[in-house]
Amino acid sequence: MSFNDGLIRKISSMAERLEHRGELLHVATSRDQFVDLVDIIHKVGGRLVSLHATDERATAESFMMYAILDHDGCLIEVVSPVWDGVPFQSLVPRVHAANWYEREIQDMFGLTPHGHPDPRPLVLYDDWPQDTFPLRKDFDSSIDIPRIPREYKYRHMEGDGVFEIPVGPVHAGVIEPGHFRFSVAGEPIMALEIRLGYVHRGVEKLSETMPYHKGVILAERISGDTSAAHSAAYCQSVEQLFEIKAPERAEYIRTIILELERLYNHLGDISGIALDTAFAVPAADGYVLRERVLELNEWLTGSRLLRSINTIGGVNKDIDRDKSAKLLSHLVDLRLQFERLSSTMMSSVSMLDRVEGTGILSKENARSLGCVGPIARASGVDIDTRRDHPYAAYPDMSFRIPLQKSGDVYARTVVRIDEVRESFAIIEQALDRIPNGSICTEFTGAPIKTTALSLVEASRGELMHWMIGEEEKPFRHKIRDPSFCNWLGLELAVRGDIVPDFPLVNKSFSLSYAGNDL
């Protein structure tokens, strides 16, 4: 895609420097112009992909703030300095999607947004000392951080018959920790407040201490069920930094494992939706299919979660002809069983009754929050990184991008069912066309001085790794998991629904806590 000339003229009038870097337009601007510039791109339909900071005080004498936007398939990186002790103007009143990003910047860098409607801490808890910021370069990881007692203020709803229901962080099911606070009047939910950060492990800081080859291992452990997508995104960004290219055969293998990952996750989500509507038979069948894919993963690669396959410069494991043929026949079998399952599910009146009209996320809200993946597509937002910013072997694949309009649990189920079909088709195409050759390029050289940006469509949606490199390890590594963009969508979607529908709506959003919290 090419950049829109009118927009470029507008941008350049406000920019200090403008540079085309491959697919990316890099725009440096002053602090005063930053918000206006991002807002202009946002107004013409630019979607906020990420907003994050770096500590460049050693070289540039300031912190830097980067906004990444996607405008009609063109990626724009806007950067401006931010100074310690000088609050920066918040983007949130104009770009709602910036909400959690700015709170995260405040926690991690101690830079305060001015005019943010909700400047509470996001991942570092209230008992965290207020003058200690982990992503600053002068932060010392080895010291013990004291706990300072302080209380987190939840939003309160008041009125006759309004009650609060607190849930978590330790839940009744086998799911990750998070706190949900419902304000209810009788059965209907008036508001939901979600508090996360319980599994914040400090991944971005850890990554700055890890040599690149170890960074891949860490990337696989950001969100365990997204190991392949996170490691692919990590490897792609390091490959960009070192200007190396994975061989074509490796790109095909990456595509295959990325689709296998989507398959087992979507199968789990679809079965979970059946389970939460108390439709036990397809739920059990669906979980068996998911297990079959996990077993297939292990047989094909040695890892049920597809770990240790992606490596910088390519992949570690090849798929020989014999395996390829067997994989194909397994897929045919799985496909048949899946069709039976989906037709049982989608023809059941009692199931449809639960999912239709439940947990609606409007297109407008999905856009304004910057939602991604199946959640966005179920609300009619037509985005998919595989088509919009193709990577691996996706340029050679033909596939459809399923869309729905109703934005309810039904739509999210149908989108996933259709995507499972596409995944089967993509794996078959990839196995059919995979070229011969090596599977890994040597990882050598020195990193380029500019930033690297890599996007991957994980099963939950667009995932970003962004990096500034040093010789041995990243200087700054920003990770943005798709769930980070989708959590607030859940708060909006459950409003007006009844409490017993929450587990179902939550399941249909299928959000990662670990990926969000980092």
Partner 1 sequence: MDESTEQLGKQLQERIHQLFGRSLGIREVDAGSCNGCEVEVNALTNAIHDIERFGMHIVASPRHADMLLVTGAVTRNMEMPLIKTYRATPSPKMVVAMGSCAASGGPFLSSYAVVGPVDSLIPVDVYIPGCPPRPQAIIHGIMVALDLLEEANNR
Residues 225-264 that bind partner 1 (CB under 8 A): 225, 227
Nearer to ligand SF4, 18 or 206 (CB): 206
From 513, 484, 478, 512, select the one nearest 204 (Cα to Cα): 478
- What is the binding site for ligand SF4 (CB under 6 A)? 221, 224
* Separation between Cα atoms, residue 194 and residue 204, nearest integer Å: 23
- Piece in contact with partner 1 (CB under 8 A), picked from 11-19, 169-177, 348-356, 384-392: 169-177
- Which one of residues 87, 177, 188, 503 is an interface residue with partner 1 (CB under 8 A)? 177
Tokens 């998070």, residue? 178
* Separation between Cα atoms, residue 214 and residue 200, nearest integer Å: 20
206 binds, among ligand SF4, partner 1, none (CB under 5 to 8 A by kind): partner 1
332 is written with which tokens? 């045919």
CB 295, min distance to partner 1, A: 8
CB 353, min distance to ligand SF4, A: 38
Side chain identity, residue 181: R
CB 224, min distance to ligand SF4, A: 5
Nearer to partner 1, 429 or 512 (CB): 512
Based on the shown chain and the rule CB under 8 A, indicate whether residue 153 belongs to the binding site for partner 1.
Answer: no
* Separation between Cα atoms, residue 329 and residue 238, nearest integer Å: 35
505 is written with which tokens? 């709506």
* Separation between Cα atoms, residue 117 and residue 92, nearest integer Å: 8
Tell me the three state secondary structure of residue 324: helix
Based on the shown chain and the rule CB under 8 A, indicate whether residue 24 belongs to the binding site for partner 1.
Answer: no
499 binds, among partner 1, ligand SF4, none (CB under 5 to 8 A by kind): none
From 337, 307, 357, 317, select the one nearest 504 (Cα to Cα): 357
Specify whether the CB–CB gap between 469 and 447 falls below 8 A.
Answer: yes
Specify whether the CB–CB gap between 199 and 176 falls below 8 A.
Answer: yes
* Separation between Cα atoms, residue 192 and residue 172, nearest integer Å: 18
Based on the shown chain and the rule CB under 8 A, indicate whether residue 287 belongs to the binding site for partner 1.
Answer: yes
205 binds, among ligand SF4, partner 1, none (CB under 5 to 8 A by kind): partner 1
Strand partners, 80: 65
CB 141, min distance to partner 1, A: 5
Specify whether the CB–CB gap between 217 and 316 falls below 8 A.
Answer: no
CB 221, min distance to partner 1, A: 4
From 123, 108, 234, 140, select the one nearest 514 (Cα to Cα): 123
- Which one of residues 141, 155, 325, 495 is an interface residue with partner 1 (CB under 8 A)? 141
CB 31, min distance to partner 1, A: 29
Nearer to ligand SF4, 260 or 490 (CB): 260
CB 174, min distance to partner 1, A: 5
Nearer to partner 1, 46 or 474 (CB): 474
Strand partners, 498: 188
209 binds, among partner 1, ligand SF4, none (CB under 5 to 8 A by kind): partner 1
* Cα 484 off chain centre by: 6
CB 221, min distance to ligand SF4, A: 4
Based on the shown chain and the rule CB under 8 A, indicate whether residue 463 belongs to the binding site for partner 1.
Answer: no
* Separation between Cα atoms, residue 42 and residue 98, nearest integer Å: 11
Binding footprint of partner 1 on the chain (CB under 8 A): 125, 134, 139, 141, 145, 169-170, 172-177, 197-203, 205-206, 209, 214, 217-218, 221-225, 227, 268, 284-285, 287-288, 290-291, 294, 304-305, 307, 512-515
